[in-house]
Amino acid sequence: MDSLLLRALNGESTERAPVWLMRQAGRYMAEYRALKEQHGFLGLCRNPELACEVTLQPIRAFYPDAAIIFADILLPAEGMGFEIEFNPGPKIGGRIRHADDVSKLKVTDPLQATPYVLDALKLTRSELKSVHPEASLLGFAGTPWTMACYLCDQGPYKHFLGTQVFAAQQPKAFARLLDTITEVTSQYLAAQFESGAEAVQLFDSWGGNLTREDYKRLSLPYIQKIIESLRPYNKPVILYVNGGGHLLSLLSQSGANCLSIDSRTSLPAAEELLDGKIALQGNLDPTHLFRTKAEVIEETRAMLSSLKNHKGYVANLGHGILQATPPENVKAFIDTVKEGW
């Protein structure tokens, strides 16, 4: 039988909701900080043994239903010809300003560009068996729109208006950029499936900046193309669009098996709108993990009981966990979901 997570992602009813946290490996864990101090963020990403170890840290500590491979959405940009750094926010060497810059982009085989991510997946898939045999392994990537935001804007990476202006002024070059990232991302996620990922999540972290009309042109078609290219693998795809409450009816046409919704979007309203056609994931506000443990428990229960149906649902946060989150509240969140509906 499929794991709890895979069953929920496929829209099935589950005896309890599966649960994991976006960005569950990271700085809120002392074990992570110790390793990062020694190796640096990219050092962890580029070493499959260390990436596997960091992926497994939250699994050992909290026993969630999924492990998400430790990597970053910006790693594939290296194979396109960019230098990347993190301190801890991303810094990208060279950015796209002109049509010529788009013509210079490379599509490198993921086996050459990011072999360490694929090796980390293979290793983690086998190690997970002894740490938490029922947990599923997730891969991930950014959407073309969100990747383009980092490649076109100069930073500070906050609003990405420069990317929207570039798209408005040079629509043809921007479409070529999105096509190139779409090709890179399709190959990258296919390679992740081949290396042991059981499901993947696409992060459209900046998709919510777009109007519905712009989303239809600048993000959705490229997501659809990626998901279509992954059909032969017959494995679930989760789509997370930060600030995408106004886009839900469009997102339901993405081809994704599951929509991960942010905290501003109402979970029961999304459930009603989507009417069981697509699984849902989310959406506790990450800042609420800073409340008291009793409040975390109460809010997690309220989230679960706000749902009408006990099928096609994955408990998660509405965005990545924050840096100083108290680990005991992460445990309270996960344990409360595990107590059942």
Residue 90 pairs in a beta bridge with: 86
Whether the CA torsion 242, 194, 75, 169 is positive or negative: it is negative
Interface region with ligand CP3, contact rule CB under 6 A, candidates 9-17, 82-90, 282-290, 302-310? 82-90
Strand order in the sheet with 136-142: 66-68, 136-142, 199-204, 237-241, 258-260, 279-284, 313-317
CA dist 124 and 120 (Å) reads 6
DSSP label at residue 321: P
Is residue 23 at the binding interface for ligand CP3, with CB under 6 A as the rule? yes
248 binds ligand CP3 (CB under 6 A): no
- Tokens at 307, concatenated: 């749902």
Closer by beta carbon to ligand CP3, 184 or else 307: 184
Q: Is 232 among the residues that bind ligand CP3 (CB under 6 A)? A: no
89 binds ligand CP3, rule: CB under 6 A: yes
Question: Which one-letter amino acid corresponds to residue 250?
Answer: L
Rank residues 60 and 231 by Cβ distance to ligand CP3 and give the closer one: 60
Does 68 participate in binding ligand CP3 (rule CB under 6 A)? yes
Give the x-and-dash track for 131-160 against ligand CP3 (CB under 6 A). Answer: ---------x--------------------
Judged by beta carbon, residue 88 or residue 268, the one nearer ligand CP3 is 88
Beta strands 237-241 and 136-142: pairing type?
unpaired
Q: Could you give phi then psi for residue 64, rounded to 5 degrees? A: -70, 175
What minimum distance in Å lies between the beta carbon of 109 and ligand CP3? Answer: 22
Are 241 and 251 in contact, with CB atoms under 8 Å apart? yes
Count of residues in contact with ligand CP3, rule CB under 6 A = 22
**Nearer CB in complex with ligand CP3: 68/210:** 68
Binding of residue 39 to ligand CP3 (CB under 6 A): no
Positions of E strands within 176-243: 199-204, 237-241
Task: Tell me: does residue 88 bind ligand CP3 (CB under 6 A).
Answer: yes
User: Which residue among 27, 95, 122, 310 contacts ligand CP3 (CB under 6 A)?
Assistant: 27
What does the alpha-carbon distance between residue 99 and residue 176 come to, in Å, rounded to a whole number? 9
Which of 4, 29, 74, 190 forms a contact with ligand CP3 (CB under 6 A)? 74
Rule CB under 6 A: say whether 203 interacts with ligand CP3.
yes
**Contact status, residue 192 vs residue 200, Cβ threshold 8 Å:** yes
341 lies in the site for ligand CP3, by CB under 6 A: no
Neighbour count for residue 339 (Cβ, 10 Å): 11
Instruction: Give the footprint of ligand CP3 on this chain (CB under 6 A).
Output: 22-27, 36, 41, 68, 70, 72-74, 86, 88-90, 140, 203, 205, 242, 320
